[in-house]
Amino acid sequence: MKPMNPEEPEEPRGPADPAVRADSADSEGSSAEYADGGPVLVGVGVGPGDPELVTVKGVNALRGADTVVVPVMERGGTGRAEATVLHYVDASKVVRVVFALNERSDRARREAAWDAAGGRVAELLRGGGTVAFATIGDPNVYSTFGYLAQTVAAALPELDVRTVPGVTAMQDLAARSGAVLTEGTEPLTLVPVTAGLGVLREALAGPGTVVAYKFGRQAAQVADALRESGRTEGAVWGSALGLPGESITPAAEPAAEPGAGPWPVSAALPYLSTLIAPARRDSRGGKL
């Protein structure tokens, strides 16, 4: 099945199981927690895409906010964060704000998008109240939320900025694939491939587990770096985790085309794909 584009429109799959949802009393408590009179901006991590991975605290923050802001691309439909949010709050409470998501080459366009998004959120907060910004994964790990918070705080010095942690893609992929992220004294290195393949190769040459984010169109080069470092054994690729089109594949699995090299050299991957290359382990508890 073809991996899903992370910003490809998708229909919400209906309310999450009531057993994993916070009740209304909890939601009211969350609203009271943030109601201190001044403007409050809360970055809420909503996980990689599976609505059941949103924490109870995250659900309460979304429901307790006056407005929930979700980032969208200029031509985008319902993105991953918005689709997750709509499992827990009514669409009438959601405000879509355009961001230059994944924009790295045109700094002026990126800065203008940040300014416009920050201005829109500042408008929502000028009279006080609480705005929750929903971000996939965790708001403190490679999230747009940090840039938004800086921009809004410059416009509203009295702003109270808070965050609610979320499940990250590497945690979800580890759980779904059975890959153990760290043991004993092993280091864990998280690399955005947008920083350059040299950074990834340096990490793969080290002793610990390496997690790579944001490689999409560079999948072939990432696969080459993995193979050249001798780290394909136990490594796993994943995309669209917990969503239709989910793809989880061992890195050592050959490509569909003979001679094409290890997967996913011959495949197109979405930008938000994840790679886990576990540390080399010779025995149980060997790194204690």
For the chain, state the CA radius of gyration. Answer: 20
CA atoms within 13 A on the CB side of 254: 5
Mark whether 143 and 260 lie in a shared domain: no
For residues 152 and 159, the answer to whether their CB atoms sit within 8 Å is yes
Mark whether 264 and 130 lie in a shared domain: no
Task: Please report where in the chains the tokens 């045109």 appear, as a residue.
Answer: 106
Mark whether 232 and 182 lie in a shared domain: yes
Residue 111, domain CATH? 3.40.1010.10
What integer pLDDT is reported at residue 28 of this predicted model? 42
Tokens representing 155? 């416009």
Tokens representing 20? 């994993």
Residue ranges for the chain with pLDDT beneath 70: 1-36, 75-76, 100-105, 254-268, 286-288
Q: What is the pTM of this model?
A: 0.82
**SS3 of 217, please?**
helix
The answer to whether position 11 is within a domain reads: no
The answer to whether position 234 is within a domain reads: yes
**SS3 of 254, please?**
strand
Q: Nearest-CA neighbor of 229 among 244, 207, 250?
A: 207
Each residue's pLDDT tens digit, 203-217? 999 999 999 998 887
What integer pLDDT is reported at residue 109 of this predicted model? 81
The answer to whether position 98 is within a domain reads: yes
Q: Where is the domain boundary, 142, 164, 186?
A: 164
Task: Please report where in the chains the tokens 């705080």 appear, as a residue.
Answer: 153
Tokens representing 149? 């918070």
Q: Where is the domain boundary, 139, 164, 189?
A: 164
Q: Where is the domain boundary, 129, 148, 164?
A: 164
Output the CA–CA distances (angstroms, integers) from residue 170 to 107, 212, 219, 249, in the order listed.
Answer: 28, 9, 17, 14
For residues 229 and 223, the answer to whether their CB atoms sit within 8 Å is no
The answer to whether position 12 is within a domain reads: no
Mark whether 181 and 240 lie in a shared domain: yes
Each residue's pLDDT tens digit, 76-96? 678 899 999 999 999 999 999
* Total number of domains constituting the chain: 2
Q: Nearest-CA neighbor of 71 among 134, 8, 114, 25?
A: 134
- Nearest 5°: phi and psi at 209? -75, 140
DSSP strand E in 167-286: where?
A: 188-192, 209-213, 236-239, 247-250, 274-277
Residue range(s) defining the domain that contains residue 135: 18-164
DSSP 8-state class, residue 170:
H
The answer to whether position 191 is within a domain reads: yes
What integer pLDDT is reported at residue 68 of this predicted model? 98
Mark whether 72 and 99 lie in a shared domain: yes
Mark whether 157 and 194 lie in a shared domain: no
The answer to whether position 179 is within a domain reads: yes
Nearest 5 degrees, angle CA 36-CA 42-CA 44? 140
Amino acid sitting at position 59: V
Dihedral class, residue 38 (left if φ above 0, else alpha if ψ from -120 to 50, else beta): beta
DSSP strand E in 27-181: where?
A: 40-45, 67-72, 94-98, 130-135, 160-164
What integer pLDDT is reported at residue 37 of this predicted model? 75
Output the CA–CA distances (angstroms, integers) from residue 199 to 56, 126, 206, 208, in the order listed.
Answer: 36, 42, 11, 14
Mark whether 107 and 41 lie in a shared domain: yes
